[in-house]
Amino acid sequence: MHSDKVGKQRYRASYGRYLEDFTVGDIYEHRPGRTITDADNIQFSLLTMNFHPMHCDAHHASKSEFGKLLVSSGLTVAIVLGMSVNDVSGKAIANLGWKEIRLTGPVFAGDTLYAESEVLEVRESKSRPTQGIVTVHTRAFNQDGKPVMDFIRTALIAKRGHGTAED
């Protein structure tokens, strides 16, 4: 915070959290939501060379049990992960891994995704005294509150005073 004049303050947006800001059991609701479009799905499928007809052939998909194109699960994971960055890993040194990625419901173009992350574990690093490890369980839901995916994620997070110069 910087004071320009008496009574006026300047505020810089904060991005992410330091290790000390995490508490086991806390839940971060990630906002805003993200509405997925047909263009998002097609572009992602082309970019990643995932040409499965359920993602890019509407005629084929119309004959499936869903009756329409499914959004690529890789895109869904990427969007949900991205939604969580500000709350979970904005001050991370590195992502350490994901596990138990579960796809629990279909995602279609036009769906809006919302996500939340619950802090499962916070501990200091044994080999890096200025950092620690945070583990969260991230869950995603569509606009109707139906679960569509969840995963466990672990990240290496800086302690306060040991982040980048911009902090």
CATH H superfamily, domain 16-158: Hotdog Thioesterase (3.10.129.10)
Over residues 98-145, the pLDDT tens digits come to 999 999 999 999 999 999 999 999 999 999 999 999 999 999 999 999
Mean pLDDT across the stretch 33-52?
A: 96
- Tell me the per-residue pLDDT of 74-85, one tens digit each, with 9 for 90 and over: 999 999 999 999
| Mean pLDDT calculated for residue range 35-49 | 96
List b or e across 150-161, with b for residues whose CB sees 16 or more CB atoms inside 10 angstroms.
bbbbbbbbbbee
Question: Order of strands, edge to edge, in the sheet holding 112-124?
Answer: 27-35, 112-124, 131-141, 147-158, 92-103
pLDDT at 17 over 70: yes
Q: Where are the domains of the chain?
A: 16-158
Is residue 4 scored above 90 in pLDDT?
A: no
How much is the pLDDT for 167? 54
Residues 6 or more apart from 165 whose CB is under 8 A from it? none
Tokens at residue 84, please? 């969580």
Confidence of residue 154 (pLDDT cuts 50, 70, 90): very high
